[in-house]
Amino acid sequence: MESNIKVRNLNVFYGATQALKNINLDIPNKQITAIIGPSGCGKTTLLKCLNRLIESTDEVNVTGQVYVDGEDIYSPKTEVTHLRKKMGLLSQKPYPLPMSIFDNVAYGPRLHGTTKKNELKSIVEFYLKEANLWDEVKDRLSSPASKLSIGQQQRLCLARGLAVQPLVILGDEPTSALDPQSSAYIEQMFLKLKADYSIILVTHILRQAKRIADYIVYMYDGEIIEHGEASDVLNHPKHPKTIEYVSGVIS
């Protein structure tokens, strides 16, 4: 299994509480990895460690290493903006930026140095198509992003994230605020996108993991209990805690 993201001995403390306990994990390339587990088990904390957004939390202490493309992202030499450009994030609730639909998608490319109007136009069109939103918004690109429905907003956020050309897409329960139709849209898009991107998806919906995940990481109380191919973990779980969760005894 090839992996560009390797987590080694990762511990996270919020004040005195330990949120992640000695995490070791290789994320497979160009597959959908689902991190599952009951709420409060540290799924989102682990995800936030991968793009260092964890650092904006109050009183947090991170030890251990996370290697992205062989580079330890917690080394003082690592430029955090460079890292985050590689790790696209799709959050629980869509947060479009306070600007027009066009500017939302163009925001990232502009930050990273694309300024030519024509170039931006084609980037915006390409990624809005990629996120399956183009047909719905092509006639109102200059209207505020806040006017879109929440499902459209989440697809806009996806287009915006893809426009900076990340290697990885991090999804933090990206469908939890959406209606079933929009959720299905996002899931289908993930299945299409995994050809080009490694996708790491935190989800509390076991059925979603069953539908789209290739690789499963089961966490409980800050620890990785079991991880492996989705068919193995979901159909033949080994650890009693995983069996409980997968069979629906706890959720």
Using the rule CB under 8 A, which residue among 84, 210, 211, 239 binds another protein?
Answer: 84
Total site size for another protein, rule CB under 8 A: 34
- For residue 172, which of 251, 54, 56, 83 has the smallest C-alpha distance? 54
Q: Does 139 bind another protein (CB under 8 A)?
A: no
Residues 85/112, Cβ–Cβ less than 8 Å? yes
Instruction: With H, G, I as helix, E, B as strand and everything else as coil, classify residue 69.
Output: coil
Single residue of 42, 96, 171, 174 touching another protein by CB under 8 A: 96
Report how far residue 23's alpha carbon sits from residue 10's, in angstroms, rounded to the nearest whole number: 5
Of 14-73, which residues contact another protein (CB under 8 A)? 51, 53, 56-59
Instruction: Choose, by CB under 8 A, the member of 40, 112, 119, 196 that binds another protein.
Output: 112
Taking CB under 8 A as the criterion, the residue among 24, 63, 122, 146 binding another protein is 146
Q: Which residues contact 137 (CB under 8 A, 6 or more apart)?
A: 101, 128, 148, 152, 156
Between 167 and 206, how does the x/- string for binding to another protein read (CB under 8 A)? ---x------------------------------------
Cβ proximity of 68 and 249 under 8 Å: no
The distance of closest approach from Cβ of residue 208 to another protein in the complex, given in angstroms and rounded to an integer, is 21
Alpha helix (H) residue ranges in the chain: 43-50, 80-86, 101-111, 117-130, 134-137, 150-162, 180-193, 206-212, 230-235, 240-246
Instruction: State the residues that interact with another protein by CB under 8 A.
Output: 51, 53, 56-59, 81-82, 84-85, 87-89, 91-93, 95-100, 107-108, 111-112, 144-146, 157, 160-161, 164, 170
